[in-house]
Chain A
Amino acid sequence: MDHVTPPPPVRRLDPHEPFGASEAPATTNGNGAVATESSTFARHRRAAPSQLSIDRMQVESLSVAYSGKPAVKSVSLPIRQGEVLALIGPSGCGKTTLLRSLNRLTELTRTASFDGRVTLDGMDIMGMEPTALRRRVTMVFQQPNPFPMSIFDNLAYVLREQGSRRGRKSTLAPAVRNGLERAGLWAEVGDNLKHPALKLSGGQQQRLCIARALVAQPEVLLLDEPCSALDPQSTQVIEDLIVKLREEVAVVIVTHNLQQAYRVADYVGFMYLGDLVEYGSATSVFNSPREERTKEYVSGAFG
């Protein structure tokens, strides 16, 4: 368990821009060619399930509708530990709904209806207690949302039984430390755990939210556009973290940012109007998409 060191002083501007320069900053190396695989991320990328991959979740023809209006249409895909799955697609394509269905948060919407099956380690999630499921499939949101308490209490809240305040600090401390270390936050906040969480910087808040999601020891970590409210530096720290975490948990990330998907994902699912149009390794989806719509989207033609 090593720390994420503070971000390097110079932000690496992503040199590989295989899908056209439309979304890229003007600083890419000219022709936007598939570039040097010098990036740490590219080195890590997995184009095929690694031998250590574990099948965690299986989505089997899942459909979700709000008041009868379909949002996700018969989507099937695997979610494996050992790799990062990115869901991409234009706004309103159903990627967030799909993500929120994995821990049954969509049920909070009264008008939502479901069809199909999602399994976690072979068990149908609809047969599980939602609270138990959500401790195994935790989630990080778009906006950093630490709870209005100290850093320590943010993690202790997850560890404690429901609304209880029981559990001595000393017994919870190792788990809290472990969570903060895994999220690469211990080095920064370890000496001041009483600090109010909402007074941290945005990037630290988001890493605290990741720590909070990890402290429950989940099998799957869901990230819903976790960097969209953050500055580039914090974004990079979190992207590094995501790549690191894939060994310990299955990571699913929804992102609007194609470059981010390219940087962190091993596998990519492209969704459009509720359909999973294309699913495959990041390299194949970005560099040689099979579907016309995928090609248009990743080259910046729409969305």
Chain B
Amino acid sequence: METSVATPPVSSPPPQPGPPGPPRPADGRRSAAWRLSDKAGLVVCWGMGLLFCAIAVAIVMYFLIKGLGYVRPWMFVTPASTGFTQSQTGGFSDALIGTGIVAVIGIAIALPLGVAIAVWLSEFGRPAGLARLVESTIEAIAGTPSIVLALFGTIIFASPALGFLSRSTSGIVFGRSFFAAGAMLSLVALPLVVGSTREGLQAIPQHVREASYAVGKTKMATTRRILLPASRPQVATGAMLGLGRIIGDTAIIVVLLGATLNFDPVGGTPVLSYLKGTGTTLTNYVFQNAPTGELNNPEKAYAAAFVLLVIVLILNAAVDVIHRRARKVGTWTT
């Protein structure tokens, strides 16, 4: 934008008149002039940054190499089965599909709910007391360990009123199903969607809202046609981060999805039977097949972990792409 004049870096002092000669580097950039403690601090910061990069690279590389060695195309289309050797125990097709199902259910609940909450908090937020309450509730959910949410879910979804969402025999509700797991997982994603959407809304300068009011638009029209489209990148980012959390969650799956290794549909309705039934996801598959798990098929665990990692990396890349696209549309000067 032509108006935004590039401001000089804060650290560079105004040029000083001095005798001609080789230009002296600006003080802020010449680390030789720094105090020893500052130099040490800088080294520590660098070190920490490099250390974390190294850890991240190590994890990713380890699983990419190790997983790539074990993963086979047939695993994607073969459900798990019982067997004595690792070659007999099948693949993780059910787990892969299960991950997809909980992700879809979870985000289908969390996205509209989260965006609605964020819009209300950011644009309306009256009465103020209620807004504060909602805010701290969201924070409380964000801070709650997912195993606690899972335990809470067992109470809710085992209630007779919600019996239609899972298996029930003669009035006793099992309370474990894709519905139950997906609903509780939406709570895991919700705070991320709310937080990211609010961030997006609050980044819009107030005068943009007023510009819309100033041509006779209502608050509703402004929100729908200006504010939400403008914060679409942040909404999408929140959804991606939420998806990542849903896909990575294990506790809720183990407790609320039955911790099986295969689909166990309820009744005969085509899709609904699967959603009402129990199943598994990649995280549970890894958990069960890990050397410390019940099944102890480390090769399968590595293969599944590799797939899980790739999915998460793709989500992260998607966030990056969204932000890059958003930059192309431009933004306001504040």
Bound complex: CA A137 to CA B212 (Å): 13
Q: Given A162-B221, A201-B1, answer yes or no on A145-B330 (Cβ-Cβ < 8 Å).
A: no
In the complex, how many residues of chain B place their beta carbon closer than 8 angstroms to a beta carbon of chain A? Answer: 30
| Residue interface mask B269-313, A partner, CB < 8 A = 1 | 000000000000000000000000000000000000000000000
Residues of chain A within 8 A (CB-CB) of B224 are 163
**Cβ contact within 8 Å between B3 and A131:** no
Q: Is A158 interfacial (CB 8 A cutoff)? A: yes
Residues of chain B within 8 A (CB-CB) of A131 are 216-218
Bound complex: CA A213 to CA B213 (Å): 11
Scan residues 113-137 of chain A and give those whose CB is less than 8 A from a CB of chain B: 130-135
**Cβ contact within 8 Å between A105 and B210:** yes
Give the number of residue pairs across the A-B interface with Cβ within 8 Å. 106
Bound complex: CA A201 to CA B207 (Å): 18
**Cβ contact within 8 Å between B211 and A141:** yes
**Cβ contact within 8 Å between B330 and A196:** yes
Q: Which of B216, B220, B330 contacts A134 (CB 8 A)?
A: B216
Q: Which of B205, B221, B330 contacts A199 (CB 8 A)?
A: B330
Residues of chain A within 8 A (CB-CB) of B2 are 201-203, 231
**Cβ contact within 8 Å between B205 and A143:** yes
**Smallest CB gap from B224: residue in A:** A163
| Residue interface mask B76-91, A partner, CB < 8 A = 1 | 0000000000000000
Q: Given A131-B218, A231-B2, answer yes or no on A143-B334 (Cβ-Cβ < 8 Å).
A: yes
Residues of chain B within 8 A (CB-CB) of A105 are 210, 213-214
Q: How far is the CB of B295 from chain A (nearest CB, A)?
A: 51
**Cβ contact within 8 Å between A132 and B216:** yes
Q: Is B42 interfacial (CB 8 A cutoff)? A: no
Bound complex: CA A229 to CA B207 (Å): 14
Q: Is A103 interfacial (CB 8 A cutoff)? A: yes
**Cβ contact within 8 Å between B3 and A141:** no
**Smallest CB gap from B232: residue in A:** A148
Q: Is A265 interfacial (CB 8 A cutoff)? A: no
Since A138-B216, A157-B215 are in contact, a sample of 11 more A-B pairs with Cβ atoms closer than 8 Å, ordered by chain A residue number, is A131-B216, A142-B207, A143-B205, A143-B332, A143-B333, A145-B207, A145-B211, A162-B221, A163-B221, A205-B1, A205-B3
Listed A/B pairs (15) with beta-carbon separation below 8 Å: A105-B214, A131-B218, A134-B214, A135-B215, A138-B214, A142-B207, A145-B205, A145-B332, A147-B230, A148-B330, A157-B212, A196-B330, A203-B2, A213-B214, A222-B214
Which residues of A are in contact with B by a Cβ distance under 8 Å? 103, 105, 108, 130-135, 138-139, 141-145, 147-149, 157-158, 162-163, 196, 198-199, 201-203, 205, 209, 212-213, 216, 222, 229-231
